[in-house]
Each structure stands twice: as C-alpha cells, then as structure tokens.
C-alpha cells in the first residue's frame, strides 16, 4: 500500500530525485522545493520541446487544457512488484541534483549519476541538474552535453525559470517516450505479470484464455500510459477495451484495475469539476472496483500475496473522493470497512499506512476522536518496530492526538491560542475562566484514555531518546493525574523526570509544568514603616485624603474614586525589595525538592530572588518570594519560574486558579491544596502593580529599647526616636502627627528638630526627643493585683492598642527625579512611617482619698490690728523673699481675723513593689497676666520635703494651700452678690448661686492646675500624680467654709491711746489686709488693760446680736471648742447687745485685768437675733428656731509680769 492515494494518483508520473555527489541537506531541500513548484506542467508549454517522430498513439491529446503531473520522490524508491499492474507505480524518470562547488569533477558526477540510474530500470528519462557551477565547470560542462544540465549561478527567479524550462523539456521527453512505449506495446505486446498470477504452467485451454487476458492487460497498461501522458479520452477507450476482455477472461483483478483507471480518466476528463451525477457515477464504479478486487482474492496464494491492499486502497480512494462533512456517514462506513480489513493485512507497514490514511480521513471530516484513536493505533504499530526512528514517529503521531484527548503540551497550544499578551493581561479578568480552559477541564475527565496516551508518549519519547518530550509527558501525567497513580507509580514518574533531566543540558526549559502546584497566597502590604501615600501637591497637608481615615473600612464617599485605584493597586518602589507569598503543594507520595523558585515577571523590570524549598510527601507550604523592581513601569506576575526535576518551567497562577475552580465544581479529580491539608480556596486577585521611582525611606529606631516602654501611671519619660534615611533620595517634606488611643500621653514631640534636619540626605539620620506621660489605667482594671501581675497583662495592653502611634508623613522632592518617562505622570508619592510607641502602663500609686484640712493659729492681741499687707503679686514676691518657709504657710483670714492654715491631705497607697518618693510643688501664677514679670513667675515653683511611700504601704501627703487666695479676692464680690440677691427673694438666688458656683469652680480649677504632685521611683522613673479630680472633690466638699466668709468678723486690740483709733473705716482696707504677726504689744499682769473688740457685719442686713467675750487661760491645744480642754481660768463678758448696720463695724471697748502672767485666749462670740435666711443657710441650721451662734477666732494674749 502506498500513502496519500487518491483516484487521481493513477495519472501522476513518478520521478526519483537523487542527490549526486555531496549536497548539503539545506541546499538539497531548497532545490527540492524549487522542483516541487514544477509538479504540473501544462501540455501547452511543452509543445516547443515536443517533436512528433511518428503518429502519436494519443489521438485525443488535449494540448490546450491537459497537463502532465509529476510526483518527486526524493531519494527514489525500490521497484514495486505491482509496477506492471499500475504503471504509475513505476519510476519513470530520474533527476539527479548536484551541487557543483562540493563536487568539482563533473566527469565523476556523470559517472555517479549513471550508476545511480541503473537501479531504476523503468526510468525513461534521466537528467542531472548541476547547480552553482564555477566558470571552469561551465566551460567544461557545456562540452560534456548529454544528461548533465548546468544551472549558471543566478538569482532565485531566474533559476526557477531555468528549472521550469528544464522540466518542460523533461515532460516533453517523457511524452515522447510514452508514445514510443505505447506504440511498441501495441505492436509487440508484452508479458504483464503481477505477484498474484500463479506460477503454475497453463494447460491448452488456458493458453487461449491467457492470450486474451494478455491483451486485456496490455490494453489496461496502455490506458495507464495514456493517463500519464495526460490524455484521458484515449485512456478511457483503452480501459473499456481492457474491461471487456478482462471480464470475459475472468481476470477480475485487472478488470478492477481497468475500472479504476476508467474512473480516473473520467475525472481527469472533467478537469476536476464534479456534480452530483458525476459523484454518483464515481461512487457506483468504485464500489464495483472494490467488489472486483475482493472477487480476485485467491485462496491459494493468500498466504503470500493478496489483492486486499488494492481493495483497501480503492476504498480509501473513494473515501478521499467523498471526503466532505455532508457525506460523513458514507465516509465513516468506508473507513470502518477499511479498518476492519486491516486485520487481514499481512504486511505491518501496509497496516500502518492504512491506519495513517484512515486517521487522516477521519480528521478531514472532523472526527477528531476517531482520528486520535487511529493515530494511537499507528503509534502502537510504530512502537512494535522497536527502533529509534519508529519511536520518534510514534511520539510525533501521539503528539498529534493530544489535542483530541486534551492533554496537549503547552508548547503546542501557546503558539496559537495563548499568545503572550493574554498571559500579561490575565490579571485583568482575574476570576473569570476562559471558555477554552473550561472545556478542557470538562474533557479532562477522560482520564483513562488520557493517561494511556501520556504514558505512551512517555514510553515512545524514552525510546526515541527525546528527553525533553519524555520530561514533558511525565510532567503532564504527574501533574494532572496524580490522584489516579499509585505512590509507586508516582515515584516511577519522578525518577523518569529526573532521568530525562539528566540527559538534558542544565537550564533546559519546558512549557509544561510538573510539580509543585503553586498558587498566589497574598501580596503582603507594605510594612507600616514603608507605607506609600499619594501626594497631593496642591495642599500643604499633602497626605490628607490619601490614606483611609476613620474607623470605617468602607465609606460611601470614597467609593467613586477608589474603584480604579485604591485596593487593587500596589505600588512598588525601584530598588526596594518586595515580597509575595505563594503556596506550594506537593500532593504526591515522594519528597519534592524544588531547586529554585522565583517570581516570573514578563515586564522585565524586576529582579526576582530564587529560593529553594523542600516539600515532604503530601504537604503544602507558604513561602515568601522576593525581588527588587529595577525600573519604573507596570509589573505583571503571571506565575513562578520553577527549577524542579532538573528542568525550568513556568507555573502560571491562572492555571492553578482554573484548576481549583474546577475542583470546586467537581470537574477535576482533586484539589491539590486541599488534599495536602491546606485551607480552603482563597481567591487572591492580582492587583495592578506599578513601580515608582525611588522614594526616601525612613527607618525608625526608638531609643530606650525596641520593646515595650514600661511606665507607671503618670510617669513622665523622655525617649528618642532615631530616624535614618535608608533610601536613595533625600527627605524634603516631613510632618509628624499622632494617632491612636491615649494621644495626650505624648506631651511633646520635637517637631522643630526634625524640620531643621531637612533635607535629610540618604544615609543621614536625625534624633527627635519625645516626652511621654503615662496615662491613668482605666476603671475597667481596678484590680489592685493588676499592678503586680503587670508583666503578665502586658500583652493584653498591646492588644488593646491603647498605645499611641507617631505617624510621620514624609516625601522626597516634589519634582520627579529627572527621569523623562515620569515627567508626564503625577508627582512621586510620599510615604507614611508609623512608629508605634509601645507603652505599657503599670498601676502606680493609687489614690485613696483627699481631704481639706484647715487649722487656725490664734493671733496675738496687739496694740494695733495686724499690719495690713497687700496680697498682690509684688507683695507675695516680697514675702517669699523675706519670710521664712513656715511663715508663708500661715496667713490671716481677714474675715476671721486669725491665722489660718489649710492643707490638702492626700492619702495614697503604693500597691507596687517599688518605692515611691512624693514631692509636692505649687507653681506660682500671676493672677494678672498683664504684669511684665509674669513670664518668670510662671516658672517659680516650690518644693516641699519628699514623702516616701514604701511598697505595699500607704501614706498621707499634705499639700499646703498657701496661696489659696480666692476667698480673699473674691469674697466681697460673692458677698455682695449674695447680699444683693438675698432680700429680693430666693428665686433669683438660685441662679446667682449657680453663677457663683461656676466662678468658684473656675477658680478652683485654676488653683488645682498649679498644684503638682510629682513622684520618683528608682533612679530614672519619675512622674506626676493625676489628682486633679481628687483635689476638686475634696475642695468641693468644704467649699462653703473655705470660700464664704462668716457673717461676722471679730477682732481684738489693745487700746493704748484711745484717741488714736486704727483706721478701719474703709472696708477695702480691711478686706485686703492681713494682720502681721509682728505686732506684739506687751500686756502686763496686775494692770488694767483696755481693749477693744471690733465686730464687723459682713452682710447687707442689720444684725442684732448679743456679744460675749470669753477669756481663758488654757493649757490645751484647742482653746476654743474643745470640751476636754483643761481650763485653768475663765472669765466671760457676756450680754453685750449691739446692733451693727450692714457692712459696718462697731467697736466695743472693755478692759481686762490679768492677775497671773501667762498665755490667755480671747474669743468673741455672738448670738444673732432674728437671723435671716442667708445667715441660717450659712450656719447650716436645721430648724428656724435654732439660735445662730457665731464664734470668732481665738486671739492670743501673752501676759507678762511677775506673778
């Protein structure tokens, strides 16, 4: 059997093309292609070479329309035993091809050619074409003449013309030879035999038959030559004669041959134009051809030879003729019967050819699966041949089937269906699957067939010695069908992979990935230190609006602009390493060693760093792949390059995504990640990655340890943030802000230090001090044990995120860095550096309670009322300068007229295990800030002796309220208010009370803010107690006593000279005066001492009262009220009824006579009659009938003299 047969094959002249001498293969191919263009030579073109020697037997030669057709057989072919039966099987001409430069001696060329021709006995024409002859050869060759034809060197076109001419000459010569042959055959008759004819001698009866039979055969052969000569009408005539004779003699084989020739002649006559009637005719005749070939089967020699191949060939010819989609059914029937016949074929190569033809025809009518099935049969036949060339053929045939079985190599698909562009743009349509890949997923379920095909490819590739193909097949097999392969089989494939790789040069690439499976895990966002923020050059705060602000992840307002940019965008910086997390899975039963894996980037502006990984059996791993962007522009990462099993492959993320999607839908065998115990499918979308020019990069270092800063509540500490520019661009803009909880614990940040350091050159660094003050622990954590277990709860504090963060926005220069490609684009982005201040606040001193304590020291009764001292700033300052410490604490309450001393007592406990030292300071403040020297006064502070609180102890700290001036300054104001409102009714008073309270609170706050309680613990831990609230609460409780004056003020003085009264008329003077402790008049015993009691009405109403004066000699501390006081002597002057007009004062003179020298106390007291509501309220009386008793402060009288 012959490949590629069709009905027209009978009319094609076979020409052997033989290389003569040495012809380089490339040139030989080139010369052959030139020849192939001359396959059809029109008869009209050869007439000039044709000379009619005798009357041509081809009477109906169609000179205008006919043509001669050639088939060039490179290297020739051995003569077929069926040459006589079908003349077109003969080699009718020989063309030698010689490349002159490599065979200089033309004589030897001619010799070689002649000897080569000898093996082609049937050849009628011989020509040797010599290309590219040298000058001498040209000269030489022209003398030689004969069959040697020299082609002078020329351009291709000219040479082709030359060749065409030569071929026309060959055609003409052949035509003339055919004529000769036909004439000879007609006259002499030739013995035509086929292997089918029996060798046995003929009997007499058969001799006659044999003669007729011979005639029939010769007519058939003449017909063949007519066909070859391109004269179908002549051929038809001869064929019909032959058919008649052959049928008569029962020579069915030749009859069928003649019929076949007749059909060819018919087709040739119609010049390829077919219609339905013609098709029907051909079909009918060919069916009869097939039938007769079958009839000619002779049982005798069936072992040796059989006409079956002709029958099958005829079937294939008809099938090819009919081969159209519409007639698919018919073709299929023909091919099916041909395939059935294959079993009876003796020759394996015949079967091979048959299957090849069947596969091709199935392919032509679109039966891809059938074609693939027969291709596989072909491959099996090849593989039976057990040689390398056959194995290569098998491999190639199998490779063709892979498309139908959907197991094709990526190499074959990438050429047409997957251009690189698509890979690049794959991230755009992220989640969507390509239709193509969906179908292939579905079809990939024919795993039984697919695995067989791949296994056969692997086998044939191994046998063919093509390690790359073997590797690819094993990789496909392993990757796609690992769940169906036993661990032993998987191991076998793994060793097949490594064996193949051993024979490949290192660094070989293969389009088909093997293991592991790789999927994108995540693109880690920038660490917070490297955040990139968009820059708005028009705004001063250029970072604003670029970062998500506020607690909401989604805001409807940012939606509009963010759909194209925000989340899907990833910005990488030239020269700064980036990381991508990928997950690898090895679902197979062997340990997988990935020699190197790195990101595959097609855009060429990225340097990827390879890593190597070991994946144990059935395991998956998330690894970090890193790299450095090298130039500005977009980056796409379609997958990873993997060097595994000795071959470099590209693993596309998209493929695995499709696979996983398929697995989720149950289309694919299994999910490799899931069977390795990895988590469920994550759909990681590819962000748009763009690379921007280098940016500055600040690297922070928090001085005082990178760990947590452990502070006690209220502790104040300085720390240093060291910022180094690790980028390659100077920092030109910078801004510090705070965020997070407890921002107010950062007392100060040295903005100026940072600003002054700009521009911060690459490599340089700046240190900015930051002052912290630890916040109070919340009430949620009141557990006193928390302090002790503070280290255990430290982590909790971090998780709470209660620590503030320092956010530094910085950027390089506004103009882009001179790179022309970026000029058009926006300004380079800035960055955000977030330095979390990891503060862990431990419980420190805890506050138990605060109380306001007041204490009075009796004033001495002197000649004058105490010297008034102005309590304004200057006088205070003077007092500070001149007076002793203790003195400053004591002051005269002008409304009481005594020395008052007030303390704020704080009770503190120390639950921690360290010792605290408490120191109190009060900052002096100038109440009137207009003063020039107010600035330095703000800074003046006073320290008091330190109090030490041991661990687990509590202590009380007294804070003297020395400059508690409020009542003095504002007392009259309040007084007036109350007095003004008092008579008009209680309705308004509530309002004014409120008003007064607000003023009061403001004053208290002012006061409180100046009291600072500092503590120190250990060497470097110090802070301040936050006790403002406590003080306020304490003061609030006793506000009445502190602020509101008593309704009556009492004062005593000695009267030396009654004519010289003290100036006490002016209330102002009184109000603003304090008694100086310096006035100590001597009081002598045994002497009448005239005294005056001064009583002042502080209300706006007339007060009637009964005044009493008590003088006691007391050896106790509290000489006024104490019931237990040891009273040595007492005298009471009582029942003095006086009336005092509003805001006036009266004097009441009296005299005392002291008998015993010593210390005495004078106390004035009054019982107010007809008290009004204000007085009652002031006195906190419970019932309206209760007498209101008003008691003055004690005055001290020292009596000297001899007892």
Three-class HEC string of 1151-1189: EEEECCCEEEEEEEEEEEECCCHHHHHHHCCCCCCCCEE
Least Å from the CB of residue 449 to another protein:
5
Least Å from the CB of residue 398 to another protein:
14
525 scored as a contact of another protein (CB under 8 A): no
Least Å from the CB of residue 324 to another protein:
12
| Residues contacting another protein: total by CB under 8 A | 27
Quick one: which segment of 32-40, 251-259, 292-300, 438-446 binds another protein (CB under 8 A)? 438-446
Pick 458 or 841: Cβ nearer another protein: 458
Q: Which of 325, 799, 987, 1019 binds another protein (CB under 8 A)?
A: 325
HSE toward the beta carbon, residue 148, CA cutoff 13 A: 28
330 scored as a contact of another protein (CB under 8 A): no
Residues 1029-1048 that bind another protein (CB under 8 A): none
Pairing between strand 839-842 and 709-712? parallel
Least Å from the CB of residue 455 to another protein:
11
Quick one: which segment of 7-15, 660-668, 679-687, 1092-1100 binds another protein (CB under 8 A)? 660-668
The angle formed by the CA atoms of residues 251, 253 and 257, to the nearest 5 degrees, is 115
**How far is the C-alpha of 574 from the C-alpha of 635, rounded, in Å?**
11
Pick 226 or 342: Cβ nearer another protein: 342
Residues 966-995 that bind another protein (CB under 8 A): none
439 scored as a contact of another protein (CB under 8 A): yes
Pairing between strand 125-131 and 148-151? parallel
Pick 438 or 834: Cβ nearer another protein: 438
HSE toward the beta carbon, residue 68, CA cutoff 13 A: 30
Nearest-CA neighbor of 1192 among 1140, 1132, 1121?
Answer: 1121
Whole-Å CA distances, 176 to 47, 50, 57, 1167: 11, 7, 10, 167
Least Å from the CB of residue 370 to another protein:
5
**How far is the C-alpha of 710 from the C-alpha of 666, rounded, in Å?**
56
Q: Are 247 and 255 in contact (CB under 8 A)?
A: yes
Least Å from the CB of residue 440 to another protein:
10
Whole-Å CA distances, 605 to 315, 574, 654, 694: 61, 9, 21, 14
Least Å from the CB of residue 329 to another protein:
8
Pick 25 or 666: Cβ nearer another protein: 666
665 scored as a contact of another protein (CB under 8 A): yes
752 scored as a contact of another protein (CB under 8 A): no
Least Å from the CB of residue 356 to another protein:
17
**How far is the C-alpha of 813 from the C-alpha of 320, rounded, in Å?**
76
Name the token pair of 236. 């038809």
Least Å from the CB of residue 663 to another protein:
11
Pick 335 or 585: Cβ nearer another protein: 335
380 scored as a contact of another protein (CB under 8 A): no
183 scored as a contact of another protein (CB under 8 A): no
Q: Which residues contact 380 (CB under 8 A, 6 or more apart)?
A: 394, 456
Quick one: which segment of 176-184, 307-315, 360-368, 504-512 binds another protein (CB under 8 A)? 360-368
Quick one: which segment of 67-75, 265-273, 362-370, 804-812 binds another protein (CB under 8 A)? 362-370
Instruction: Identify the sign of the CA torsion 1164, 1168, 1173, 1176.
Output: positive
Least Å from the CB of residue 673 to another protein:
19
Total residues found in the chain within this entry: 1203
Nearest-CA neighbor of 261 among 287, 224, 233, 314?
Answer: 224
Quick one: which segment of 331-339, 839-847, 1100-1108, 1146-1154 binds another protein (CB under 8 A)? 331-339
Q: Are 961 and 902 in contact (CB under 8 A)?
A: yes
Least Å from the CB of residue 295 to another protein:
23
Residues 442-471 that bind another protein (CB under 8 A): 442-443, 445-446, 448-449, 452
Pick 201 or 448: Cβ nearer another protein: 448
Write b or e for each residue in 39-52: b if 16 or more Cβ atoms lie within 10 A of its Cβ, otherwise e. Answer: bebbbebbeebbee
Least Å from the CB of residue 79 to another protein:
36
Whole-Å CA distances, 730 to 572, 754, 769, 820: 18, 13, 21, 20
Q: Are 907 and 954 in contact (CB under 8 A)?
A: yes
Quick one: which segment of 326-334, 395-403, 687-695, 714-722 binds another protein (CB under 8 A)? 326-334
Binding mask 157-176 for another protein (x = CB under 8 A): --------------------
326 scored as a contact of another protein (CB under 8 A): yes
Residue 1014 sits at φ, ψ, to 5 deg, of -100, 150
367 scored as a contact of another protein (CB under 8 A): yes
Whole-Å CA distances, 65 to 40, 41, 45, 783: 12, 11, 10, 114
1052 scored as a contact of another protein (CB under 8 A): no
Least Å from the CB of residue 351 to another protein:
15
Quick one: which segment of 260-268, 336-344, 394-402, 424-432 binds another protein (CB under 8 A)? 336-344
Name the token pair of 335. 């091919």
373 scored as a contact of another protein (CB under 8 A): yes
Residues 94-113 that bind another protein (CB under 8 A): none
**How far is the C-alpha of 478 from the C-alpha of 882, rounded, in Å?**
100
Q: What does the binding site for another protein look like in residue numbers (CB under 8 A)?
A: 325-326, 328, 332, 336, 339-340, 362, 365-370, 373, 438-439, 442-443, 445-446, 448-449, 452, 665-667
């Amino acid at each position: 059997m012959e490949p590629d047969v069709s009905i027209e094959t009978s009319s094609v002249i076979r020409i052997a093309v033989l290389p003569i001498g040495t012809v380089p293969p490339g040139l030989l191919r080139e010369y052959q292609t030139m020849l192939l263009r001359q396959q059809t030579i029109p008869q009209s073109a050869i007439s000039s070479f044709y000379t009619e020697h005798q009357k041509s037997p081809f009477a109906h030669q169609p000179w205008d329309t006919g043509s001669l057709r050639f088939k060039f057989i490179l290297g020739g072919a051995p003569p077929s035993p069926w040459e006589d039966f079908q003349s077109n099987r003969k080699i009718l001409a020989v063309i030698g091809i010689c490349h002159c430069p490599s065979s200089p001696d033309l004589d030897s060329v001619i010799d070689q050619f002649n000897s080569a021709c000898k093996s082609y006995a049937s050849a009628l024409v011989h020509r040797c074409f010599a290309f590219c002859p040298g000058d001498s050869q040209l000269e030489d060759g022209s003398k030689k003449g004969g069959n040697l034809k020299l082609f002078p060197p020329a351009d291709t076109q000219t040479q082709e013309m030359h060749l065409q001419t030569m071929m026309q000459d060959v055609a003409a010569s052949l035509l003339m030879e055919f004529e000769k042959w036909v004439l000879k055959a007609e006259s002499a008759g030739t013995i035509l035999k086929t292997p089918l004819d029996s060798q046995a001698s003929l009997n007499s009866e058969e001799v006659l038959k044999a003669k007729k039979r011979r005639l029939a055969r010769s007519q058939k052969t003449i017909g063949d030559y007519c066909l070859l000569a391109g004269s179908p009408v002549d051929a038809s005539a001869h064929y019909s004669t032959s058919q008649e004779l052959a049928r008569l003699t029962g020579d069915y084989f030749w009859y069928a041959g003649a019929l076949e020739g007749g059909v060819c002649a018919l087709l040739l006559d119609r010049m390829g134009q077919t219609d339905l009637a013609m098709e029907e005719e051909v079909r009918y005749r060919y069916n009869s051809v097939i039938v007769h070939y079958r009839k000619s089967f002779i049982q005798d020699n069936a072992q040796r030879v059989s006409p079956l191949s002709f029958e099958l060939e005829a079937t294939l010819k008809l099938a090819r003729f009919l081969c159209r989609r519409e007639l698919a059914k018919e073709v299929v029937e023909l091919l099916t019967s041909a395939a059935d016949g294959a079993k009876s074929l003796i020759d394996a190569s015949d079967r091979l050819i048959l299957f090849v033809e069947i596969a091709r025809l199935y392919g032509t009518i679109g039966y891809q699966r059938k074609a693939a099935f027969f291709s596989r049969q072909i491959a099996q036949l090849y593989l039976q041949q057990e040689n390398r060339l056959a194995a290569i053929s098998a491999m190639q045939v199998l490779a063709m089937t892979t498309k139908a079985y959907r197991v094709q190599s990526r190499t074959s698909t990438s050429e047409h269906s997957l251009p690189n562009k698509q890979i690049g743009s794959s991230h755009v349509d992220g989640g969507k699957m390509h239709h193509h890949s969906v179908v292939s997923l579905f079809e990939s379920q024919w795993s039984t067939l697919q695995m067989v095909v791949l296994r056969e490819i692997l086998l044939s590739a191994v046998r063919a010695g093509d390690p790359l193909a073997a590797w690819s097949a094993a990789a496909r097999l392993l990757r796609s069908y690992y769940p169906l392969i036993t661990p032993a089989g998987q191991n076998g494939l793994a060793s097949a992979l490594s064996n193949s790789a051993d024979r490949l040069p290192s660094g070989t690439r293969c389009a088909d990935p093997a293991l592991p499976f790789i999927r994108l895990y995540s693109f880690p966002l920038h660490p917070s230190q490297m955040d990139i923020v968009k820059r708005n050059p028009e705004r001063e705060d250029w970072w604003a609006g670029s970062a998500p602000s506020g607690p909401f992840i989604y805001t409807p307002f940012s939606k509009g602009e963010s759909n194209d940019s925000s989340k899907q965008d990833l910005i990488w910086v030239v020269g700064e390493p980036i990381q991508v997390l990928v997950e690898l899975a090895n679902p197979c039963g062997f340990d997988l060693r990935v020699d190197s894996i790195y990101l595959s980037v097609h855009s060429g502006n990225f340097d990827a760093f390879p890593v190597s990984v070991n994946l144990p059996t059935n395991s998956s791993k998330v690894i970090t792949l890193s790299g450095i962007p090298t130039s500005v522009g977009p980056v796409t990462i379609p997958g990873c390059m993997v060097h595994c099993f000795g071959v470099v492959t590209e693993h596309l993320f998209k493929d695995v995504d499709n696979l996983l999607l398929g697995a989720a839908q149950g289309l694919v065998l299994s999910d490799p990640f899931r069977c390795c115990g990895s988590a469920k499918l994550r759909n990681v979308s590819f962000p748009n990655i763009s690379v921007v020019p280098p940016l500055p990069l600040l690297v922070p270092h928090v001085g005082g340890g990178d760990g947590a800063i452990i502070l006690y509540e209220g502790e104040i500490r300085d720390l240093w943030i060291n910022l180094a520019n690790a980028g390659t661009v100077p920092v030109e803009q910078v801004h510090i802000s705070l965020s997070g909880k407890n921002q107010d614990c950062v007392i100060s940040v040295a903005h100026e230090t940072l600003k002054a350091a700009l521009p911060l050159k690459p490599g340089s660094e700046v240190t900015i001090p930051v002052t912290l003050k630890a916040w109070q622990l919340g009430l949620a954590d009141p557990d006193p044990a928390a302090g002790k277990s503070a280290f255990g709860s430290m982590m909790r504090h971090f998780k709470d995120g209660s620590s503030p963060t320092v956010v530094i926005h910085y950027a390089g220069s506004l103009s882009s860095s001179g790179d022309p490609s970026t000029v058009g684009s926006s300004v380079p982005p800035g960055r955000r550096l977030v330095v979390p201040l990891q503060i862990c606040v431990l419980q420190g001193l805890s506050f138990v309670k605060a109380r306001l304590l007041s204490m009075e020291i009796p004033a001495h009764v002197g000649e004058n009322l105490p010297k008034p001292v102005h309590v304004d700033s200057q006088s205070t300052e003077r007092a500070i300068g001149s007076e002793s410490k203790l003195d400053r604490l004591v002051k005269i309450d002008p409304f009481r007229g005594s020395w008052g001393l007030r303390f704020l007592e704080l009770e503190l406990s120390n639950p921690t295990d360290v010792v605290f030292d408490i120191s109190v300071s009060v900052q002096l403040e100038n109440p009137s800030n207009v003063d020039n020297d107010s600035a330095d006064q703000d800074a003046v502070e006073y320290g008091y002796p330190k109090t030490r609180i041991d661990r687990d102890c509590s202590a009380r700290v007294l804070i003297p309220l020395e400059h508690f001036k409020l009542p003095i300054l504002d007392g009259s104001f309040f007084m007036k208010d109350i007095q003004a409102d008092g008579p008009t009714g209680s309705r308004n008073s509530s309002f004014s009370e409120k008003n007064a309270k607000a003023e009061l609170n403001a004053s208290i706050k002012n006061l409180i803010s100046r009291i600072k309680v500092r503590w120190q613990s250990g060497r470097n831990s110090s802070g301040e107690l936050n006790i403002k609230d406590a003080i306020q609460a304490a003061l609030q409780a006793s506000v009445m006593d502190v602020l509101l004056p008593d309704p009556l003020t009492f004062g005593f003085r000695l009267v030396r000279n009654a004519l010289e009264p003290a100036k006490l008329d002016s209330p102002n003077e009184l109000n603003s005066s304090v008694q100086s402790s310096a006035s100590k008049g001597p009081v002598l015993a045994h002497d009448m001492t005239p005294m005056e009691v001064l009583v002042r009405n502080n209300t706006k109403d007339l007060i009637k009262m009964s005044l009493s004066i008590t003088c006691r000699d007391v050896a106790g501390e509290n000489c006024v009220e104490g019931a237990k006081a040891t009273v040595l002597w007492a005298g009471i002057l009582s029942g003095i009824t006086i009336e005092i007009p509003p805001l006036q004062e009266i004097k009441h003179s009296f005299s005392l006579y002291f008998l015993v020298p010593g210390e005495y106390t004078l106390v004035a007291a009054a019982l107010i009659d007809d008290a009004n509501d204000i007085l009652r309220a002031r006195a906190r009386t419970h019932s309206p009938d209760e007498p209101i008793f008003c008691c003055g402060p004690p005055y001290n009288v020292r009596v000297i003299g001899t007892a």
